[in-house]
Amino acid sequence: MKGRLSRFADEIAREEKSRVFAIRIDCSESRSIKEAFEGVLSLGFVEVLVYNAYHPTSWNPTNFADIRLDHFQKSLAVSTVGAFHCAQQVLPGMVDRGRGTILFTGCSASLYGIAGSSDLCCGKFAMRGLAQCLAREFQPRGVHVAHVIIDGIVGAPRRRSSTSSVGELHGGVEDGSMDPDALAQTYWQLHAQDRSAWTQEIDLRPT
């Protein structure tokens, strides 16, 4: 996993001709998050924090009685406690400068319960609440906090060529998956929004 992450960072660096660093974090451990951000903050001010972490086993619905307590606690720790710690690391600098963006990534489980997935749903429900609380506290101080609900499966990036049609570029994914490039554009638009009309929550799904 660590090697794949580093290769991905190297690929982005080559394409964008920029410096890219990959740092592995255990989002359920406050010490791991703190140590990682010590390295990040040593490079400079954090303009944008995108939190998109989940506990993988939570995506396998099972009978409630079969959900192990440690899995339930891990899901809460990754989805919500990790988001809490990461936000605490960047908010002081953002408030000092009067600008910054924090984007929390949710899913359909952020909005409604799913049978057999109480660990996932409780974690995502709580993160949504955290996003709302932070938005109301910090947006008046110049920090844009938004919750992005991705209600669908994210597919592999689509390869665009000079002969691609408008339909191919802007929708019509045959397998019903969501184009990660289109999602990334939405995240960028949230960051670039004028503060007179900030979005607090947005719900994205494929056509």
**Each residue of 73-107: pLDDT tens digit?**
988 999 999 999 999 999 999 999 999 999 999 98
pLDDT at residue 135, as a whole number: 97
Which pLDDT score is estimated for 159? 56
Domain with CATH 3.40.50.720 in the chain: 45-204
Helix (H), strand (E) at residue 102: strand 100-107
Model pTM above 0.75: yes
* Cα 110 from Cα 131, distance rounded (Å): 11
Specify the CATH superfamily of domain 45-204: NAD(P)-binding Rossmann-like Domain (3.40.50.720)
Spatial neighbors of 120 by CB under 8 A, at least 6 apart, are 54, 55, 58, 59, 75, 79, 109, 114
On whether the CB atoms of residues 69 and 123 are closer than 8 A, the answer is no
Which residues does the chain have with pLDDT short of 50? 58, 161-172
CA–CA separation, 99 and 144 (whole Å) = 8
